Amino acid sequence: MALQAGIVGLPNVGKSTLFNAVTNSAKAQASNYRFCTIEPNVGLVDVPDERLQHLAKLVNPHRIVPTQVEIVDIAGLVKGASKGEGLGNKFLGNIREVDAIIHVIRCFEDENVLREEGAINPISDKEIIDTELQLKDLESIEKKIQKTEKLARVGSDTKAQAELKTLLQCKNHLEQGKSIRSLNLSKEEKTAIDDLFLLTNKPVLYVANVDEASMHTGNKYSEQLLKAATEEGAQMIIMNNAIEADIAAMESADDRALFMEEYNMKEPALNRLIQSVYKLLNLETYFTVGVQEVRAWTIHVGWKAPQAAGVIHSDFEKGFIKAEVIAYDDFIKYGSEAACRDNGKLRIEGKEYVVKDGDIMHFRFNV
């Protein structure tokens, strides 16, 4: 579906290390100097979903195909980025192209890792990035206000007048140092700013990059960040990016298991991160199940059956007739499609059916 989440943050907070971990590659250079990342790195990441394995045990397919999400490693922003500092305009442009933001913030002390902002202060670091994004959005809003004001002066142009009211509301919100995503706009009001692709209107997930000693419990820095994230209705994940990169780089499952056991980990924190990003993008999963493959498919929350069918092939949506649907829990309980059918758990749904997360589906179509 080509939806992307972009990793952002100040220089040397662990962005590229995190990218290397989530993409299980060494594509993003992780080094201890400013602007190590200039061109954004992009990687497709499998979304961990234990339901795939449970279904595969019942069906024994030839292959298992997880769904994926696209992660982009964007260069570190600095104070003044909105005015072009540190190639800021280029990097802000990269952020504008993604659908959600993963904001990595340093929550550890290490004199060997370069830091130009002084003492460790996650709130200050967060505010530096927030301010730069807000200033860039303010610039976009003010430009549109100038154009809309001219139209709004014509008494009969009620649409322009309504847009201007929303734009002025957004301007005031940004000038107070607040992000647009925290402004409770109606669906109609949002249309006034949809064409601006505002940076602070994107959903955000905070990653507290902590030291090894704090990876399970957090520390005073992550607690400060959690308080700030909670106040704006955002999520936060605690992890040690370097350890996660080490785990992801191991080819042997046994080695990974031993390594995680040493650190008292049941699973990589990356799994939670990727799953959280998936939800942040307002995505969910349905499955197709057969001997050839058990496969996860990505859809938007709220999509109807024909749209979900179109993810497999456009012809499925064009010629949609109906969908055979089995709830995931029912399939696991009865063990097969035939058993679900015999027990009345296979439903026939039409064009208005809203697909639920975990649905097992088979589409009938005619083109």
Any binding-site annotation on 182? no
**Alpha helices (H) along the chain:** 15-23, 50-59, 88-96, 122-152, 158-175, 187-190, 220-231, 241-249, 253-262, 269-280, 305-312, 314-318, 328-334, 337-342
Among 283, 305, 231, which Cα is nearest to 70's? 283
- Written as one letter, the residue type at 151 is L
Any binding-site annotation on 13? yes
The answer to whether residues 308 and 286 touch, using CB atoms and an 8 Å cutoff, is yes
The answer to whether residues 115 and 74 touch, using CB atoms and an 8 Å cutoff, is no
| Strands across the sheet containing 204-210 | 41-46, 68-73, 4-8, 100-107, 204-210, 235-239
* DSSP summary character for residue 346: -
For 265, phi then psi, to 5°, come to: -115, 130
Any binding-site annotation on 12? yes
Any binding-site annotation on 166? no
* Cβ-based neighbour number of residue 129 at 10 Å: 25
Q: Helix (H, G, I), strand (E, B), or coil: what is residue 135?
A: helix
Any binding-site annotation on 25? no
Any binding-site annotation on 16? yes
Annotated binding site: which residue ranges? 12-17
Which residues are documented as binding site for ATP? 12-17
